C-alpha cells in the first residue's frame, strides 16, 4: 500500500511539474536575424514578466546572456549580464514584436569593456529585424 501511494504521489508531482514546465511565454523560442546570411541565434524564455535571452553568435563561436522584463505593451527591455567574448561590456536592447514570429531588436545603449580599446559595433538606435525559427 505504501509503495502504491509513493508511486501515485510521484506521478502526480511529475505531471504537475511537466505541465508547469511546458507553459511558455508568447515569444519563447529560437529567433534569428531576418537576413540572407544568418550568424546569430537568440533563445528567448519568459517566466511571468521576466525574460532571459541568450545570444549565440555562430561566426565568433561565442554567446552573451541578457535578462530583463516585458511590459504591458509586449515591449521587452533586456540588459547584458554576461559577455563571453567581451567581459565587462554592457548593453541594453529592446525587442518589439509585430507578430508572434516577427520583431525588431533595437540597441538602446552599449558600453565597451573597461580598460580596452574595443568599440561597440553599432550605435544606439541601430535596429535588426528578427524572426522566430522554432
**54 burial level (CB within 10 Å; 0-12, 13-18, 19+):** middle
Residue 18 lies in a domain: no
Q: What's the CATH code of the domain at 48? A: 2.40.128
* pLDDT for 10 beyond 50: no
pLDDT at residue 99 in the model: 92
Residue 5 lies in a domain: no
pTM: 0.77
The residue range of the domain holding 72 is 25-132
Residue of 15 and 32 predicted with greater confidence: 32
* Banded model confidence at residue 11, pLDDT cuts 50, 70, 90: very low
Residue 85 lies in a domain: yes
Residue 74 lies in a domain: yes
The pLDDT mean for the chain works out to: 84
**Mean pLDDT, to the nearest integer, of 117-122?**
86
Residue 102 lies in a domain: yes
Residue 117 lies in a domain: yes
Number of domains into which the chain is organized: 1
Residue 10 lies in a domain: no
* pLDDT for 40 beyond 80: yes
* Banded model confidence at residue 6, pLDDT cuts 50, 70, 90: very low
Residue 30 lies in a domain: yes
| Residue recorded with cell 528567448 | 44
Do 31 and 55 touch, CB atoms closer than 8 A?
A: no
* pLDDT for 35 beyond 50: yes
Amino acid at each position: 500500500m505504501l509503495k502504491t501511494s509513493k508511486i501515485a504521489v510521484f506521478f502526480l508531482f511529475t505531471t504537475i511539474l511537466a505541465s508547469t514546465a511546458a507553459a511558455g511565454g508568447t515569444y519563447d523560442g529560437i529567433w534569428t536575424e531576418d537576413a540572407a546570411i544568418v550568424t546569430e541565434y537568440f533563445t528567448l524564455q519568459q517566466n511571468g514578466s521576466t525574460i532571459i535571452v541568450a545570444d549565440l553568435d555562430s561566426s565568433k563561436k561565442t554567446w552573451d546572456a541578457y535578462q530583463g522584463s516585458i511590459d504591458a505593451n509586449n515591449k521587452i527591455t533586456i540588459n547584458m549580464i554576461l559577455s563571453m567574448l567581451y567581459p565587462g561590456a554592457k548593453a541594453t536592447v529592446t525587442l518589439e514584436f509585430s507578430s508572434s514570429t516577427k520583431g525588431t531588436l533595437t540597441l538602446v545603449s552599449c558600453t565597451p569593456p573597461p580598460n580596452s580599446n574595443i568599440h561597440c559595433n553599432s550605435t544606439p538606435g541601430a535596429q535588426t529585424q528578427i524572426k522566430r525559427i522554432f
